[in-house]
């Protein structure tokens, strides 16, 4: 065999980095126990050599495939797409490959999809469950392999752990910010009722109204689209606008901004607008959109960490999964907060 065509080995990485074979193995399997400077040297050598694990050999040696199944749908929407990307990135960083399977709209196909995923040799499964339509998928795989669900909905199946983002906390942050800007009334342009994120944001909004003593209403529900935001806002313009609009996502907020502009209303002077998601380009709208950024990368790492702990033999994760907090991003579509 031509030596130039030989795949780089762990021994080659060790020689390039000036460390032992065992150190390279630790960096690949337990990076957290390796001194950062050493870990960085090994990772640099891996990158320079183009080293990749021989997964077939590793599977024969350890009886583990290093495959993680990811079950999702609606990759055209921002939240599920970003969550899936974050999970894939976290899996690669931890030395796992991902088998990605998308659900169809047929709920009766959930069991077949789950069986196909398990038949591919995955060690565990991460389910991106953004709405009720994914519930059959969770039921289909629960109990057949270690399962972690990424969702705003608490676990419904025994033995299934849930990692998610505290959507209600994000909604509360929006209401608190608007209250501090002087808004006395807020309308929430709600998302679809079968989406767990939309429910949690709506619940957080109504609870925050009561907490801060503000007037408000929930308008909708609508789809996750600019058209929904445009139509809901047009209806409010006809019946009477509040001081601020809180859209369930940035796409709805974009439609709201268009409707307000079309009717000659200024943002934020006449009415403030807040979105949710901090989608790409939100800062380039006119005015730039105040919104809520979700920690998708952290969710991916947290979900994978809990799944790996289950794969390593724990009856449950080392610690209970936690809901991660989103972050309010204040821009020009809301007024400055009062200082007194």
CB 53 within 8 A of CB 65: no
Residue 103: the pLDDT is 75
Q: CA-CA distance, 273 to 226, in Å (whole number)?
A: 14
Residue 218: the pLDDT is 98
pLDDT tens-place values along the chain, 340 residues long:
344 445 677 788 899 999 998 888 888 777 778 888 998 898 888 878 877 655 544 544 444 668 888 888 877 788 888 988 998 888 888 888 888 888 765 655 666 777 777 777 788 889 999 998 888 888 878 877 888 999 988 877 777 889 999 999 999 999 999 999 999 999 999 999 999 999 999 999 999 999 999 999 999 999 999 999 999 999 999 999 999 999 999 999 999 999 999 999 999 999 999 999 999 999 999 999 999 999 998 998 899 888 888 887 655 544 556 789 999 999 999 999 998 6
Q: How far apart are the first and last CA of the chain?
A: 77
Q: CA-CA distance, 205 to 216, in Å (whole number)?
A: 9
Residue 180: the pLDDT is 97
Q: CA-CA distance, 44 to 13, in Å (whole number)?
A: 9
Domains belonging to the chain, first-starting first, are 3-52 (1.10.260.40), 64-165+297-325 (3.40.50.2300), 167-294 (3.40.50.2300)
Instruction: Give pTM, 2 decimals.
Output: 0.78
Residue 17: the pLDDT is 92
Residue 122: the pLDDT is 85
Chain segment 229-254, per-residue pLDDT in tens: 999 999 999 999 999 999 999 999 99
Residue 92: the pLDDT is 85
Chain segment 138-182, per-residue pLDDT in tens: 887 887 788 899 998 887 777 788 999 999 999 999 999 999 999
Residue 267: the pLDDT is 98
Q: CA-CA distance, 15 to 11, in Å (whole number)?
A: 6
């Amino acid at each position: 065999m031509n030596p130039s065509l030989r795949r780089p080995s762990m021994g080659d990485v060790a020689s390039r980095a000036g460390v032992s074979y065992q150190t390279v193995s630790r960096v690949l399997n337990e990076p957290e126990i390796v001194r950062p400077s050493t870990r960085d040297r090994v990772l640099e050598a891996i990158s320079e050599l183009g080293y990749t694990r021989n997964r077939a050999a590793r599977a024969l040696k350890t009886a583990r495939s290093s495959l993680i199944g990811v079950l999702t749908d609606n990759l055209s929407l921002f939240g599920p797409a970003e969550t899936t990307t974050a999970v894939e990135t976290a899996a690669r960083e931890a030395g796992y490959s991902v088998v990605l399977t998308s659900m169809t709209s047929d709920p009766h196909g959930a069991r077949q999809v789950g069986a196909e995923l398990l038949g591919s040799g995955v060690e565990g499964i991460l389910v991106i469950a953004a709405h009720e339509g994914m519930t059959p998928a969770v039921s289909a795989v629960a109990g057949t392999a270690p399962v972690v669900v990424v969702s705003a909905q608490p676990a419904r199946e025994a033995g299934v752990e849930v990692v998610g983002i505290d959507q209600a906390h994000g909604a509360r942050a929006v209401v608190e910010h608007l209250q501090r800007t002087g808004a006395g009334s807020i309308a929430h342009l709600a998302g679809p009722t079968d989406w767990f994120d939309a429910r949690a944001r709506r619940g957080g909004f109504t609870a925050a109204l009561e907490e801060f003593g503000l007037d408000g209403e929930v308008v909708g529900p609508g789809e996750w689209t600019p058209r929904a935001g445009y139509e809901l806002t047009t209806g409010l313009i006809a019946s009477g606008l509040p001081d601020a609009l809180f859209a369930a996502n940035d796409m709805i907020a974009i439609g709201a901004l268009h409707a307000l502009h079309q009717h000659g209303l200024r943002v934020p002077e006449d009415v403030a607008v807040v979105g949710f998601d901090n989608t790409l380009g939100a800062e380039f709208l006119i005015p730039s959109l105040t919104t809520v950024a979700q920690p998708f990368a952290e969710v991916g790492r947290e979900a994978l960490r809990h799944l790996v702990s289950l794969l390593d033999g724990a009856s449950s994760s080392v610690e209970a999964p936690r809901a991660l907090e989103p972050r309010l991003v204040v821009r020009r579509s809301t007024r400055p907060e009062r200082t007194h």
